[in-house]
Amino acid sequence: MRVFLLVFIVLSFSSLRAQYYYYNENYYEKEVNFELGGSVGFMNCLTDLGGKKGIGKGFIKDLNGKNKNLSYSIFATATYHYILGLRLEATFGKVEASDSILKPIAASTFGRYERNLSFRSPITEIQLSLEFHPIYLKVDYDKDPSLLSPYLIGGIGYFSFNPQAKLGNQWHDLQPLRLEGQGFAEYPTHKEYKLSQMNLLFGCGLKYEINQMLNARLEIVQRKLFTDYLDDVSTEYINPDLFPNYLTPVQASIATQLHDRQGELSPSHITTPGYQRGDPKDNDSYFSLQAKISFMIGRLKRVRYN
């Protein structure tokens, strides 16, 4: 994070000292250009819940588009000679997934539909990322301006989440209920997780210069997480008789109902403690697909004297 901030400061300082260059016959600019903008789009996630037919698969092979939700962001970018940009961005959205989405293909999901779990979580993220436009390594913008520029993006973020599940008509925060025995002495490998964590992000996009003051982007970005508890599902079913030892009576009652919901579909079902609830081998992730619009800051109109 300090490296990104240092680059941002250097770019800003360079912009203050740099000489001006002609952008076109009507405008001129410095070596470092600044943009302020916002975006709107969709957010989706890849977790232990929901998915597609078969067993859970890695990356986007198990991504179900029906779970997408609205997301939006605001950002500021400093770009050096159109090639390298440093972006600070705040993104807001929601992710969710449900095993019930697998009902039409239940026979092919190896018990994932019958697991009958679901979640939702708000997402708030601050990211610092680098934007690389390779086309300008070979194109001289002053001589051969390109309105379309594909680019790569990568960086680091800090995000907060809060998985919830619905019981009746009420939503309940799942992390305090410790549904997989997180922090229980009987399950020493089941560690408690924090609701604010670091992530890594990488993606690609396409930038279009509408005019001298306005840019548009279409961008897809994946976040690599260091937790498997975005959906509060990761390991195994625990012995529900332990909940009263660690939770309040009210919490224990709710936890007992939410940790195993297979009985809602099959009342005769009996779950054995230790049976698989999630897959701890792969961490969760979330994605965003956003359309962005930004305004140039500091590009000046040329003054002509007769």
| CATH class entry, domain 2-13+32-300 | mainly beta
pLDDT over 50 at 78, yes or no: yes
Where is average pLDDT lowest: 15-29, 77-91, 226-240, 287-301? 15-29
pLDDT score of 20: 46
User: What is the pLDDT of the chain when averaged over all its residues?
Assistant: 86
Burial class (CB in 10 A: 0-12, 13-18, 19+), 266: exposed
| CA dist., res. 66 & res. 123, Å (int) | 18
pLDDT digits (tens, 9 = 90+) for 1-17: 554 444 444 444 444 44
Cα–Cα distances (Å) from 181 to 1, 10, 165, 228, in that order, read 34, 48, 17, 15
What are the residue ranges spanned by the domains of the chain? 2-13+32-300
Q: Given a cut of 50, is residue 262 above it in pLDDT?
A: yes
Give me the pLDDT at residue 17, please.
45
Mean local confidence (pLDDT), 293-301? 78
φ, ψ dihedrals at 156, nearest 5°? -130, 145
- Output phi, psi for 176, to 5 deg: -65, -20
170 CB-near residues (< 8 Å, 6+ apart): none
* 3-state class (DSSP) for residue 242: helix
Question: Is the confidence at residue 138, as pLDDT, over 70?
Answer: yes
Measuring CA to CA, which residue among 120, 116, 123 is closest to residue 101?
Answer: 116
pTM value is 0.85
pLDDT for the residue 1: 56
C-beta neighbour count of 256 within 10 angstroms: 16
Written as six digits, the tokens of 79 are 């770009």
Cα angle value 223/49/189 (rounded, 5°): 80
Q: Which residue has the tokens 């959205």?
A: 93
Mean pLDDT value of segment 282-288: 93
In this prediction, residue 51 carries a pLDDT of: 74
pLDDT digits (tens, 9 = 90+) for 31-76: 788 999 999 999 999 999 987 666 655 666 566 677 889 999 999 9
pLDDT-derived band at 303 (thresholds 50, 70, 90) equals very low
pLDDT of residue 16: 44
Sheet holding 21-22, edge to edge: 21-22, 27-29, 300-301
CA–CA gap between residue 67 and residue 69 (Å, rounded) = 7
CA distance 139 to 256: 63
